[in-house]
Structure 1
């Protein structure tokens, strides 16, 4: 009952938490050269921000010569207008940044892409030690190591955590298959790459990244530490029952290489410009081409390279090299086109809103090419899950109340075995299946562990926990009902009297036993 009350209290807090107001996100400014050429992209973004209730955003259109246009919209999580100096977290956009560092180190001869990871991290092995010994640095980069898609080893905010701290936990992990055989997107790959960088350089990953990538590209205000995130990054937003609510997101100090990297729109634009081949160049054309080639097919017409995805712009055959990412409360995209790039940062994110959020960046890319942006996809999955969980909670409460009534006031006797099966056996099996579905299968289908669902989709998580608690309570009540029914059914057997033998000398004994005086 205490757990149930705590779940209900958490649900009430979520419902009462501060949410961003409805209405259009205000456009607070753009670069001086903004004119009718960029009005279309500004209007498109403004409409999408309104549709998804995103409080604030920043985007830029870049070419090799620099930033051609910057759009700044709405407010940050602390209520200030989004400006050129507003920091956002970039999520997995950190992966191509990390890949750039690794490629620089490979070009300098400090490490080899086709060397096994154990050459740099001798303590690395999974449950199948022989297989994991064959995983290479390249397979971490292109996500073909066989490590499963999971957040079990990421998104931890333990102070002082280092990338190599994950190694002991990986000893119990099973690979999905032979290394190099298939693409399985996993941030653990890039957590290991950060550990490799630290082992090779004997320096903290964030320091190496800043010295060799961020500072040379002029990304001076990039966020690479928990202290910076706490003092420089405003609160982000996560969705609560369809509306974004501001919250102070945690920061994984070991996660700079896979997702806990951030900065201003100017910082991200500088990285995009380097990807286009603009100056300063920290990678040669050969290294960039190998990163962008997309050697690993992920689905028809889509592939993954060394830290970058290779798709085509919606509605065209134009290739786009891109990566998106999400950190708690934030989302970002970098999209490289043949002659320009688009960078986008949003201060709201939800796991179930992700497809619509990604389409914002794709729409901006299409609009810069003079194409019609894709229409906002209608996806009712989020509402359906919320509705199903809410309805499930109501039904479980009703069934629990009915079971309590039956326990207190037994109903007339039916077939005992029928009641054992219909009232106990079948419900117990259904409840066990429900517990497994909500506790394991549903979170795993979205690549998260159930406890971490609280971070990414707190409304879904709280309703899921509520249903799990109610299902467990109902299961306990059904077990009590089963025990009671079993005891009632077996009591006559335990109390049965063995018929006495009738003596031939006493022919009236049987009649006296059946008709006592």
Structure 2
């Protein structure tokens, strides 16, 4: 659960590591047969040369599709990375959660200016936290000041050190995560700053359930996944499995002092991420989702404008602005992109589209210690 290659906000902090020296390999049937994208492919191959086991990517442009897989999907067998792999998308899940809340606002069932206390009385309390002073909008754009649970020392020890290996199948409830966050003081007074906090979206998922009487995963399925026919996308709850086809997912475990070890973390209970980052998808589905969202097919104009109303992320993330689960990024050639990135154990992803939704790219690295998606975005939107 991340914001654009920034370790401080990542669900899994990136660590420097030596290159794995795994050769890049193109996925059968992808690439030139669908229009080239040579610069994009070359940028993906460079991520593998820099130490990522493998990468998969897809592009949707004016109704046409291009897909590619490079590098290795399974370090034990040497199986190549697939162009149609499913993967854990981490914080890209936040855009799905925010879309549901904005649909509920459009229906008049909630206001973004409602307080958290109105919907979750007594939940955001302790050590200076006060849900009566925090709005739903502030949760969604990370201006709430609510402490980030994934920075809690207990959470870090249990899920980012080698203790993860014995906790990987454990269910962690939203209430447990919020309670951990409430042990700490807020990062700042509500509305006076910006800081990425996964707790914000844990609370957002809880609010969806309060408003609708159904869990956030069910609402995402009913309101987004099924209408868009996203057959490779789901919020898996506590199911530790990835649907096929998929690569293996590898982690250095950011709190493990032995950074030379690589762990297979493909199977895990995604409840540790919840509404903030538990979803599984593939590149084609993510492109369809963001194209539909920015193309105005999921939200009325008012709510889409609210989603794109960004705030400064300050010195923490220069060059990026944050809306309601939409990151705004301007490339070197002047193209503005909207989307989100995501990191979770063994998986680093990015999904973006142009402001009109007509040109989208989604990608995934099956390692969490290396890889930068920016050169791939530059190649696709500024060179190809």
- Report the TM-score range of the alignment, normalised by the length of the smaller protein: 0.7 to 0.9
1:275 is matched with: 293
Point out the more displaced range, 268-277 or 29-38. 29-38
Contact 1:293-1:310 at 8 Å conserved across structures: no
Flag the 1:85–1:226 CA change in 2: closer, same or farther, 3 A. farther
Flag the 1:296–1:32 CA change in 2: closer, same or farther, 3 A. closer
**Given that residues 31 and 37 in structure 2 are in contact (C-alpha distance below 8 angstroms), is that contact kept between their aligned partners in structure 1?**
no
Asked if the contact 1:216/1:282 (under 8 Å) is kept, the reply is no
Corresponding position of 2:229: 218
CA shift digits 1:413-451 (9 cap, x unpaired): xxxxxxxxxxxxxxxxxxxxxxxxxxxxxxxxxxxxxxx
How many residue pairs are counted as aligned between the two chains?
342
Deviation at 1:188, TM superposition (A): 0.6
User: How much has 1:237 moved relative to structure 2?
Assistant: 0.9
CA distance in 1, matches of 2:83, 2:68: 9
Measure, in 1, the Cα distance between the counterparts of 2:269 and 2:64: 29
Q: CA deviation at 1:273?
A: 1.8
Maintained 8 Å contact 1:221/1:263: yes
Deviations along 1:254-280, one digit per CA (max 9) or x if unpaired, are 6331112112222212212213317xx
1:175-186 map, 5 Å: 175-186=186-197
- The match for 1:336 among 334, 340, 353 is 353
Instruction: Give the aligned CA root-mean-square deviation in angstroms.
Output: 2.9
Distance change in 2, residues 1:243/1:128 (3 Å): closer
Q: Tell me if 1:60 matches 2:58.
A: yes
Matched, 1:92 2:110: no
1:296-350 deviation digits (Å, cap 9, x = unpaired): 443454321111111211x233222232110100010012224412111111112
1:325 equivalenced with 2:342 (yes/no): yes
**Taking CA–CA contacts closer than 8 Å with sequence separation of 6 or more, which of the two structures ends up with the larger relative contact order?**
2
The 1:163/1:149 distance shift into structure 2, 3 A limit, reads closer
Is the aligned partner of 1:369 residue 2:367?
A: no
Per the TM alignment, residue 205 of structure 1 is displaced from its structure 2 partner at its CA by 2.0
Query: How far apart are the structure 1 equivalents of 2:131 and 2:176?
Result: 17
Partner of 1:237: 250
Aligned to 2:71: 74
Q: Is the partner of 1:230 in helix, strand or coil?
A: coil
Q: 1:187 aligns with which of 184, 188, 198?
A: 198
- 1:148 touches 1:176 (CA, 8 Å); kept in 2? yes
Report the CA distance between 1:174 and its aligned residue.
1.3
Structure 1 spans left out of the alignment, 5+ residues: 1-18, 373-517
The whole-number CA distance in structure 1 between the counterparts of 2:259 and 2:149 is: 25
**Bigger proportion of residues as helix:** 1
Matched residues in 2 for 1:293 and 1:364: separation?
26
The answer to whether the Cα contact below 8 Å between 1:84 and 1:264 also exists between their aligned partners in 2 is no
1:334 and 1:48 map into 2 onto residues whose CA distance is 16
Does residue 246 of the first structure (1) align with residue 258 of the second (2)? no
CA distance in 2, matches of 1:370, 1:296: 24
Structure 1 residue corresponding to 2:368, chosen from 339, 349, 363: 349
The answer to whether the 8 Å contact 2:86/2:242 transfers is no
Classify the secondary structure of the residue corresponding to 2:44: helix
Instruction: Name 1:126's counterpart in structure 2.
Output: 125
Corresponding residue for 1:294? 310
Does the Cα contact within 8 Å between 1:60 and 1:344 map onto a contact in 2? yes
Using the alignment, how far apart are the partners of 2:240 and 2:230 within structure 1?
16
